Structure 1
């Protein structure tokens, strides 16, 4: 019973933007798009309330949560009318011996990737971390967000590179990779490809409406007027939609910060076409990138 389609990404990489686009595409063109509409078209797979309901319990420990992921995803697959779009920031891994993403229930996934150099500043603001703290989290193979008593159960991110590779280097189900930068530079072409991957009929007028309705300026203005439920309480700026730029790392990161990201994630960055400003400092990057390409080609 494969019915689930995942919208996956590392945090602050464009997952919410993609959800807005898909939600706006599905609505009537004569209706004003509201940012909260995304919650009606896309489901979070990590809501603690859903786990408690499926388990019929008032509280759960983390091993119990991990063991319930199949039942939760199966419940969603059986009770929600397609298309079933599930948001997640989880890496596609196992935890406590249980797969976080159940392949037997999954039709496919859209994976949104963003230059990790740009992720740093946005992630730091969202989580209320320093730049050093955000880089440390992105380089931590045991990093997770959420918790057993939080609104969202634990989501296991691992390092930024591991997150990307767990979603893109398997053949369990089809995965369509979208670069945030391409969505920014060529939204019509990039979003059209996503719709084709989903098997949705592409209506040019709906596509244009979706892109206009979910423009960054529109989303930012709506948040300023009435707030946004997904804004982190830890956010330093107090905003979810901050600038939406690409290449902003040139203004926010020091050479030392850049080197910390590139030395850890350079091969995956290079594979996905991200410029490596410190590439000359590590001659092993090209070899490792070549190995990544071979692994993906051989799947």
Structure 2
């Protein structure tokens, strides 16, 4: 049974950031969460390839063996720290506290919302970024099917919310640029969704090296194959189809929808694209960070 209290609720504000209502309850559990030096975090703005890279990381950890991956959902193997819905879903913090080290931890949190002891642990971080236009489209479709989020309205309405940062976790621009700056003084592997689409083996090798693993070419090829979009889309351990439709309705839009770069062209009008580009130029003017909107 689901609790109607969490369904389609407006965002709750946490320290100035819009947050999923169910996640925002008892936020102290996030602030007090005990990070460990051996933790490896995967941090992304939502809809940027998180599940994809999580599965890649887990396969590298298990030397390319898929047996463990076929027995447990990705959310149990790499829990999302802030995930919570009391009475419906086990909180990510609870799952993580019971896990032995070394843990993989997933989060979408901006820098200022991380647990208090995060930086002193000096954990490794893999950050994945995706171009803003494709994120806006993917997030819109995600909000249509994910009932923990408020109704997104029309795409035109949603695009305005996205540009103003009035979506869960706040501004895309702030998220990607602040983490980009952070890699100057912290062990962060900063990856781009478009690069992984273009040459998965090259990018998987970067992850492998960052995690301090040595795998042969055949194993890398197996990981590339297992984590292709076609395989992931049909994999019940990663596609979230095991969740009830009262929480995520894949009939509205599948969690794994297209997995391509450039789908924004099917959504943006010429006028929307011009407005978005002007807003983007203004907000990204102070950064060296560059994205490709197609490959």
TM-score after normalising by structure 2: 0.69
The one of 272, 276, 280 aligned to 1:257: 272
Distance 1:189 1:48 in 2: 35
Call closer, same or farther: CA 1:245–1:274 in 2, change over 3 Å: same
CA 247–144 in structure 1, closer or farther in 2 if over 3 Å, else same: closer
Q: Alpha-carbon deviation of 1:32?
A: 8.8
Which residue, out of 39, 46, 67, partners 2:82?
A: 46
1:9 and 2:44 correspond: yes
Corresponding residue to 2:262 among 221, 242, 247: 247
Cα distance, 1:124 vs. partner?
Answer: 0.5
SS at match of 2:100: coil
Q: Which residue of 1 aligns with 2:253?
A: 238
| Distance (whole Å) between structure 1 residues aligned to residue 244 and residue 42 of structure 2 | 16
Contact 2:261 2:293 in 1 (8 A): no
The answer to whether the 8 Å contact 1:35/1:228 transfers is no
Residue 13 of structure 1 aligns to a residue whose secondary structure is: coil
Distance 2:262 2:162 in 1: 18
- 1:285 aligns with none
State whether residues 81 and 107 of structure 2, in contact with CA within 8 Å, keep that contact through their aligned partners in structure 1: yes
Question: Which stretch shifts more, 226-235 or 164-173?
Answer: 226-235
The yes-or-no answer on 1:83 pairing with 2:96 is no
Query: Counterpart of 1:173 in 2: which secondary structure?
Result: coil
Give 1:186 deviation, angstroms: 0.5
Per the alignment, residue 134 of structure 1 pairs with: 158
Displacement of 1:13 in angstroms is 0.7
Deviation at 1:276, TM superposition (A): 7.8
Distance 1:31 1:89 in 2: 27
Contact 1:25 1:209 in 2 (8 A): no
Gaps of 5+ in 2: 1-35, 87-91, 145-151
1:100 deviation in Å?
A: 6.8
Aligned residues of 1:123 and 1:134 also touching (Cα < 8 A): no
CA distance in structure 1 between the aligned counterparts of 2:70 and 2:278, rounded to whole angstroms: 41
Instruction: Verify the 8 A CA contact 1:103 1:172 in the aligned structure 2.
Output: no
- Superposed CA offset, 1:70-118 (max 9, x none): xx59x94x75323311111111114xxx857821234121111111111
User: For the structure 1 residues 276 and 24, does the alpha-carbon distance in structure 2 shift closer, same or farther, using more than 3 Å as the test?
Assistant: closer
1:162 is matched with 174
Q: Structure 1 length as normaliser, TM-score?
A: 0.68
Q: What RMSD over aligned residues (CA atoms) do the two structures have, in Å? A: 3.9
